[in-house]
Structure 1
Amino acid sequence: MARHIDIEEQPGEALEEAVRILKAGLPVAIPTETVYGLAADATNPAAIARIYETKGRPQFNPLICHMASVAMAEQHAVFDPISRRLAAAFWPGPMTLILPLRQDSPIHSLATAGLETVGIRLPKGFASVLIEKLGKPLAAPSANSSGKISSTSAAHVEADLGQKIDLILDGGSAPVGVESTIIKVESDSSVRLLRPGGLVADEIERVIGVKLIRPAAASAAIEAPGMLASHYAPGASVRLKASSVQKGEALIRFGRQAVEGEANAVAVFDLSPSRNLTEAAANLFDYLKLADASGANTIAITPIPSTGLGEAINDRLERAAAPRS
């Protein structure tokens, strides 16, 4: 069973123990502002392989590499002017840039799934301190079994991966609650949104002055994490845009929406009674886990606006509801 260390109560011990385990080539569950990550040395192929093994993640699905600073990121990736502008505006924070990998970067090809690009993010808080102390980038996908609901608390990580890893750093609930927004700059007029996330598209478009290009379909080529058609899935099936509830279903609604047959639900959760999309994003994965644990075979979810953070929420829900292999 994994050892837990509270990073607020024992910051020194948390840092020392995490560095020790990471240097031994083992993964550590760490809190970030988006979701909890399963982190390992991005330059160590054995450590990266343990991430894939622990999660049961296919090795064609690349990992985001987390950096402590822009200076560190520049040692591993080539920045174009627009990417530099985005980094200056939004790092540290919930944005990942897909950039050309420098030929002399020690990031291992297992982390990039053999691609010539690398996904880079600068996290806030303790994760950044840990990376700085280690002196190497951390590959860190979400700390959950592959394809399942992402973890936004240490308790979520424990329930899913606690028997497979040695250390969970507890930083409380992740404040953003969904993964980072992933951006790829192809030219001055072509900037692609590969995955909506914790940074809303409108803010990015305001900085770069052009509209983001959305993927044509969820089945597009895998260029970044979170692009698999089926992802973020609970054990129960997911039914979207529900206007009624069948007997034995769990209900997740938004904004106190009235739902026909609500009394039939085995459990009811409201992502945000006040229709606040920031609150809804923070609650999304936790409520999916709670609904899944209710014993329902199906989780019915009412419509959620697609504006702002609603784009990321709907992306996660559509992948959670997608047919599973």
Structure 2
Amino acid sequence: MQTKKYANKEEDLQEAAKDLRDGEVVAFPTETVYGLGADATNDEAVKKVFTAKGRPADNPLIMTVSDPKMLDDFVTVSPAARGLMANFWPGSLTIILPIIPDHVSMLVTGGLQTVAFRLPDNAVTRELISLVGKPLVGPSANTSGKPSPTTAQHVWHDMKGKIAGIVDDGPTQVGVESTVIDMSTDQPTILRTGAVTQEELEKVLGEKVLDATSTTSLAATQAPKAPGMKYRHYAPDKPVVMFDPLDLSDLVAKINHDEVVMGSDPILKSANLPKEQTWSLGPDVRSATEQLFAGLRYYDDQPNVTKIYVERMPEVGLGKAYNNRLGKASGNQLFQA
């Protein structure tokens, strides 16, 4: 299959929308990562997404919309969920809701009676979905288990020849997938951390929000309610090791010439390593979150690199989402001084 590159132009979006209506798979930009789009109401199109990604069939897909009204044909929306949409949409929040029976394909839900919805903060993709006229499934546009794509080139690397096209709107701004909150249960529960924090959600909902990201463990026979809960995620082929900034001097003393360090600007300045051995995560946790997957992807493609050391961030706010993805990428392996 020849994979097209669509520019951010009206005629290109019209062509991309036609391909989606015809049952093809098209990658699209969001503020978090690039998504792999297909008509969520077309089972044959959805199957192509699983094939392109190599994704397990019980791993549910997020339905991506351009307007909250699109949800009404598929799910029951509580007043609390409406409040979250009013405060965080468009944006980096995915909301799990109970489906209206027989209104959502079991291919999308992973066999569950719930489905996740998101309205991204990207005008190009919202226009694309509006042109299609139906929600799109939108898992990250990468090979399943690998670091998520934050540029169209990352998508091209993984999906060239596997999908119909890629809508290029430049690098993403957030860099990690959206927060996932389960609103189908008695108590709102975070199933994946992201840019929208637990504290922000509690402020809007006016009640305690559970964070199940560090405690939820699924058996092999259980279906996950959200992406990233059960299967290996975000991991390059090269070994990744987290390090605490307090251990930097010990790390620098032990590091080999074929190993690299990804760290914030103050850390790299202190490390004083050759430039070719470092990847800047920028000045703070926000820039680090934006750069994490790009750095992992870059070094995974360098044949002379044997190991990637990556700085952990303080476990607060956006740092929780950053450390969550880094922990999965490294298999929670931590450098020991």
TM-score, with normalisation over the residues of structure 1?
0.91
The answer as to whether partners of 1:40 and 1:139 remain within 8 angstroms in 2 is yes
Structure 1 stretch 311-320 or stretch 127-136: which is displaced more?
127-136
Q: What letter corresponds to residue 146 of structure 1 in structure 2? A: S
Query: 1:267, CA displacement in angstroms?
Result: 2.2
Q: Aligned pair in 2 of structure 1 residues 61, 104: CA closer, same or farther (>3 Å)?
A: closer
The residue number in structure 1 matching 2:111 is: 114
Choose the corresponding residue for 1:140, options 138, 141, 146: 138
1:204-283 → structure 2 map (5 Å cutoff): 204-215=201-212, 216-217=214-215, 219-220=217-218, 222-228=224-230, 230-241=232-243, 243=247, 244-245=251-252, 246-247=255-256, 248-257=258-267, 263=273, 267-272=277-282, 274-275=283-284, 277-283=285-291
- SS of the aligned residue for 2:41 comes to coil
Q: What letter corresponds to residue 118 of structure 2 in structure 1? A: R
CA offsets, 1:246-289, max 9 Å, x none? 202111112421698763885201212x22x2222111111111
The residue number in structure 2 matching 1:287 is: 295
Q: Aligned pair in 2 of structure 1 residues 258, 283: CA closer, same or farther (>3 Å)?
A: closer
The residue number in structure 1 matching 2:6 is: 5
The answer as to whether partners of 1:29 and 1:36 remain within 8 angstroms in 2 is yes
Q: What letter corresponds to residue 72 of structure 1 in structure 2? A: M
The residue number in structure 1 matching 2:147 is: 149
1:306 aligns with 2:315: yes
Q: Distance in 2 between matches of 1:218 and 1:97?
A: 18
CA RMSD of aligned residues (A): 2.1
Query: 1:199, CA displacement in angstroms?
Result: 1.7
Structure 1 stretch 213-222 or stretch 163-172: which is displaced more?
213-222
- SS of the aligned residue for 1:269 comes to strand
Query: 1:228, CA displacement in angstroms?
Result: 2.7
Task: Extract unaligned runs of 5+ from structure 2.
Answer: none
Choose the corresponding residue for 1:85, options 75, 83, 91: 83
Q: Aligned pair in 2 of structure 1 residues 166, 187: CA closer, same or farther (>3 Å)?
A: closer
The answer as to whether partners of 2:243 and 2:311 remain within 8 angstroms in 1 is yes
Q: Aligned pair in 2 of structure 1 residues 262, 148: CA closer, same or farther (>3 Å)?
A: farther
Q: Aligned pair in 2 of structure 1 residues 30, 186: CA closer, same or farther (>3 Å)?
A: closer
1:162-177 → structure 2 map (5 Å cutoff): 162-177=160-175
The answer as to whether partners of 1:65 and 1:121 remain within 8 angstroms in 2 is yes
Query: 1:98, CA displacement in angstroms?
Result: 0.4
The answer as to whether partners of 2:152 and 2:170 remain within 8 angstroms in 1 is yes
- SS of the aligned residue for 2:5 comes to strand
What is the aligned length? 317
Query: 1:84, CA displacement in angstroms?
Result: 1.3
Q: Distance in 1 between matches of 2:70 and 2:184?
A: 22
Larger proportion of helix: 2
Q: Which consecutive aligned stretches of 4+ in structure 1 deviate over 4 angstroms post-superposition?
A: 258-262
The answer as to whether partners of 2:179 and 2:193 remain within 8 angstroms in 1 is yes
CA offsets, 1:153-208, max 9 Å, x none? 111111111121121110001111111100012566x2111000122222212211
TM-score, with normalisation over the residues of structure 2?
0.88
Q: Aligned pair in 2 of structure 1 residues 44, 229: CA closer, same or farther (>3 Å)?
A: closer
1:11-30 → structure 2 map (5 Å cutoff): 12-30=10-28
Choose the corresponding residue for 2:92, options 91, 94, 98: 94
Q: Distance in 2 between matches of 1:181 and 1:15?
A: 27
Q: What letter corresponds to residue 296 of structure 2 in structure 1? A: L
- SS of the aligned residue for 1:118 comes to strand
Structure 1 stretch 42-51 or stretch 208-217: which is displaced more?
208-217
Query: 1:45, CA displacement in angstroms?
Result: 0.8
1:14-93 → structure 2 map (5 Å cutoff): 14-93=12-91
The answer as to whether partners of 1:266 and 1:294 remain within 8 angstroms in 2 is no
User: Sequence identity, in percent?
Assistant: 38
- SS of the aligned residue for 2:317 comes to coil
Q: Distance in 1 between matches of 2:178 and 2:312?
A: 22
Q: Distance in 1 between matches of 2:216 and 2:276?
A: 31
Q: Aligned pair in 2 of structure 1 residues 127, 258: CA closer, same or farther (>3 Å)?
A: closer
Q: What letter corresponds to residue 213 of structure 1 in structure 2? A: L
